[in-house]
Amino acid sequence: MTAADPLPQDVAARAIALLDLTDLSEGSTEEAVRGLCERAQRHAVAAVCVWPRFVAGAAQALAGSGVRIATVVNFPDGGEDVAGTVAETRATIEDGADEIDLVLPYRALLRGDSETARAMVAAVREACGAKGLKVILETGMLPDTETVTQASRLALEAGADFLKTSTGKTPVSATPEAAEAMLLAIRENGGRVGLKVSGGLRRVEDAARYLALADRIMGPDWVSPDTFRIGASSLLDDLIRAVETGA
């Protein structure tokens, strides 16, 4: 760390307010989600992110708290069943979801069928109405930054409110290289769409790396819960430690 770098406790305090506190484990339970919601309220994170079956319980637990409820659709495989994904989206919104994290049909994109991928995003965008739509590009499965840029532009054109790096279910999740390509596409599009970095972030240093990247590309006043999120399950522990210890 150099003299110009922010202190760990400052990074941590900034990052907590941007956190989508996540439990997408296969063994997640109603009890675990209640505990997640309690932690989310205690530390004033931006949102919780849970499986669709837990949205109604989370909505009850978080009523009036200001913590948003995100859930995932077409997750984690990024399939091509538009009608099924739209139905899932509508059901989770009825249960109380504020934000939908949709996996892009990235395999369609990779085989040159961008229209199938675009149709999925556009249909879910319509189903979301005024609710937020984050489009997961699954960047660890894309071969290069050029493809990340292509996927970013497609999602932006189809109505994404956020671009999200990863499901956290593949061998490679978020990388600075992918996040940079996504931020550049967002800036090219006018800077009104957000970025969610997700998968593999566990330490305050990880948060610092991506915050610095966003500040450099988008400017120091761009990052807020409306434009930047960090999706993680275990990161909060290290952020709290940094705030409490200053290290």
pLDDT beyond 70 at 3 = no
Query: Band of the pLDDT at 22, cuts 50, 70, 90?
Result: very high
CA separation, residue 116 to residues 5, 18, 111 (Å): 44, 32, 11
What's domain 8-239's superfamily in CATH?
Answer: Aldolase class I (3.20.20.70)
pLDDT at 2 over 60: no
- What pLDDT is stored for residue 92 in this prediction? 98
The domain ranges of the chain are 8-239
Contact 162, 134 (CB under 8 A): yes
Q: Which of 94, 51, 155 is nearest to 86 (CA)?
A: 94
- What whole-number distance in Å separates Cα of residue 169 and Cα of residue 46? 22
Active site residues: 101, 164, 196
- At residue 210 the predicted structure's pLDDT band, cuts being 50, 70 and 90, is very high
Mean pLDDT, rounded, of the chain: 97
Q: How many angstroms separate the CA atoms of 5 and 67, rounded?
A: 30
Residues 71, 101 contacting (CB under 8 angstroms): yes
Q: Is the pLDDT of residue 186 over 90?
A: yes
The whole-number pLDDT of residue 5 equals: 84
Q: Report, as an integer, the average pLDDT of 181-209.
A: 97
Give the residue carrying structure tokens 């999200």.
164
- Please determine, for residue 118, whether its predicted confidence score (pLDDT) is greater than 90: yes
Give me the mean pLDDT over the 196-204 stretch: 96
Say if CB 32 and CB 61 are below 8 A apart. Answer: no
Q: pLDDT (tens digit, 9 = 90+) per residue, 78-112? A: 999 999 999 999 999 999 999 999 999 999 999 99
Yes or no: say if 98 and 69 are a contact pair by the CB < 8 Å rule.
yes
CA dihedral for 91, 92, 94, 99, sign (positive or negative):
negative
How far apart CA 117 and CA 81 sit, in angstroms, is 10
Q: Write the DSSP string, 37-74.
A: HHHHHHHT-SEEEE-GGGHHHHHHHHTTS--EEEEEES
Integer Cα distance of 159 and 118 in angstroms: 10
Convert the pLDDT of each residue in 119-168 to its tens digit: 999 999 999 999 999 999 999 999 999 999 999 999 999 999 999 999 99
Task: Report the C-alpha gap between 218 and 86 in whole angstroms.
Answer: 32
Residue 206 has pLDDT above 80, yes or no: yes
Closest to 234 measured CA to CA, from 196, 181, 187, 198: 198
Q: Tell me, what's the pLDDT at 4?
A: 67
Identify which of 212, 216, 146, 211 has the alpha carbon closest to the alpha carbon of residue 185: 146
